Amino acid sequence: MSEYSRLSDDQSSGVIVAAQSGPLTGEVTVPGAKNSVLKLMAAALLADGVYELSHVPRIGDVDIMAELLTQLGLRIEKIAIPNPEQDGQKLRIVNSGNIATVAPFEIADRIRASVNVVGPLLGRLGEVDIALPGGDDFGGRPIDIHLRGLEAMGATFTFSDDGLIGRANGLHGADISLEFPSVGATENLLMAAVCATGTTTIANAAREPEIGDLCLMLRSMGAHIEGIGTQQLVIHGVAQTSLQSTTHTTVADRVQAATYMSAVAMCGGDVHVKGAIITHMEMLMSRFTDMGMTIAPTDDGIHVRSSGRLSAVDISTLPYPGIATDYKPLLVTMLGVSDGTAVVTENLYPGRFRYIEELRKFGADITIDGHHAVVRGVEHLTGAVVHAPDIRAGAALVVAGLAASGMTEIRDIHHIDRGYDDLVGRLAALGAAVSRVD
């Protein structure tokens, strides 16, 4: 066992170099989901004891969350396992009951998921003092839905210069209807409601598989939650002292799974994406099929085959079970070389189009009109020097580089390392011409 230590800075320095590749063949194992594990880690604030989390991706955001939770009083250690490259890390989280409520601002403002300590801290201790959350820059990312829900449960908030102070004299259950099925707000309210007095109902709750994963962990800690996976969650509060620590395995990352599938789409090939859960990706699989890919479930993953040019299809992002906004940079990249013209509509983050400028450097023909992108497929991309603007767009630029003639250099790869567990190694093992260079 070893004390939790960050990825070395070296891992996030340098550039990724990619060249035209394909066909890709073999098997890739999907790591655990970033957007689940960060919240699972926050849930460990709720009850004293020793937790074990498996299938934890080796990514920068987990490092930052571990740092934040350590400052709040948890002890986080890595448990040695035989094959962390495939299976992810195993973490032991010790909650000895000595929890602080002031989250150091310089850590909290680096990731969006830091806001997910607000629900557990208010639920358990009735106070929290935290920076407004950071994360990828897609334009404004307010937290008003979180705060309104928590206020309905009895919390009050004041804003300091760059942060938020929350107080509650014991949270109580409430009937909360979310104006938008926000992932983060649903998770925060869930964790706040677990040990509130009485029953909380969250209507128009987000239904992402990562929320189901959090519900399962909370349930195994002793929480009473009904409606898991539906738009209406009902949480019957229990005494905080009746909650206990647990062991849990992080759900597979559907966005990382989609990334390897899109690489097959761009390069051609025949790949088994081990661990991918097809029922979590149905709408995307149907679009991939419409574009000409062959998708088949297996006993433990998804088999994907692709050859020849893809066909253009229109895409609209929506909350789950719709097409996730996190898939969009991959889809726009694929449409960039598809046969025909497609309109891609972004319904979650109007500002999430910054990577398009980078895709144009490859020769892609894409124009933006409000929250729509019009993508006219070109026959070939040409290698370019590009900058990763955020996690998912960074990965999409790597995938573009695999289909572009000549060399591509992707810079600012610390964004990719925040959310991808060895993207380069996994792609290279499938035969892609890609490497990290200092």
Applying CB under 6 A, which of residues 16, 46, 145, 432 lies at the interface with ligand EPU?
A: 145
Considering the complex, state which of residue 182 and residue 200 has its C-beta at the smaller distance from ligand EPU.
182
Mark 197-216 with x for binding to ligand EPU (rule: CB under 6 A) and - for no binding. ---------x----------
For the question of residue 87 being annotated catalytic, the response is: no
E-strand stretches of 210-320: 224-226, 232-236, 247-249, 269-274, 294-298, 301-306, 315-316
Give the nearer residue to ligand EPU in terms of CB position, either 60 or 222: 60
Helix (H) or strand (E) holding 289: helix 282-290
DSSP state of 379: S
N residues, the chain: 438
Selection from 209, 282, 268, 220 nearest residue 246 by Cα: 220
- For residue 159, state whether it binds ligand EPU (rule: CB under 6 A): no
Query: Quick one: tokens of 9?
Result: 């800075």
201, 204, 325, 435: residue in contact with ligand EPU (rule CB under 6 A):
325
* Binding region for ligand EPU (CB under 6 A) out of 51-59, 134-142, 276-284, 376-384: 134-142
Closest CA to 395 of 362, 343, 340, 355: 355
288 by Cβ neighbours in 10 Å (0-12 / 13-18 / 19+) ranks as buried
CB of 118 to ligand EPU, least distance (A): 11
- Between helix 60-71 and helix 34-43 the angle, nearest 10°, is 10
**Could you tell me the smallest distance in angstroms from the CB atom of residue 324 to ligand EPU?**
5
Site string for ligand EPU, 372-391 (x = CB under 6 A): -------------------x
Q: Cα–Cα distance between 261 and 264 in angstroms, integer? A: 5
Residues 141, 428: Cα–Cα separation, whole Å: 35
Beta bridge partners of 376: 341, 365
180 binds ligand EPU (CB under 6 A): yes
Minimum gap (Å) between residue 98 Cβ and ligand EPU: 27
Q: Which residue in the list 61, 136, 253, 326 is annotated as catalytic? A: 136
Q: Does 99 bind ligand EPU (CB under 6 A)?
A: no
Is 349 a binding residue for ligand EPU by CB under 6 A? The answer is yes
Which of 389, 390, 411 minimizes the C-alpha distance to 401? 411
Stretch that binds ligand EPU, among 91-99, 139-147, 238-246, 286-294 (CB under 6 A): 139-147
Binding letters toward ligand EPU, positions 25-44, x by CB under 6 A: ---------xx--x------
Residues from 329 through 348 that contact ligand EPU (CB under 6 A):
348
Question: For residue 388, what is the enclosing H or E element?
Answer: none
Q: Taking the complex as a whole, how short is the minimal distance between the CB of residue 244 and ligand EPU, in angstroms?
A: 26
Catalytically annotated residues: 136
> Using CB under 6 A as the criterion, which residues of the chain lie in contact with ligand EPU when the complex forms?
34-35, 38, 112-113, 136, 141-146, 180, 182-185, 206, 324-326, 348-349, 391-392, 419
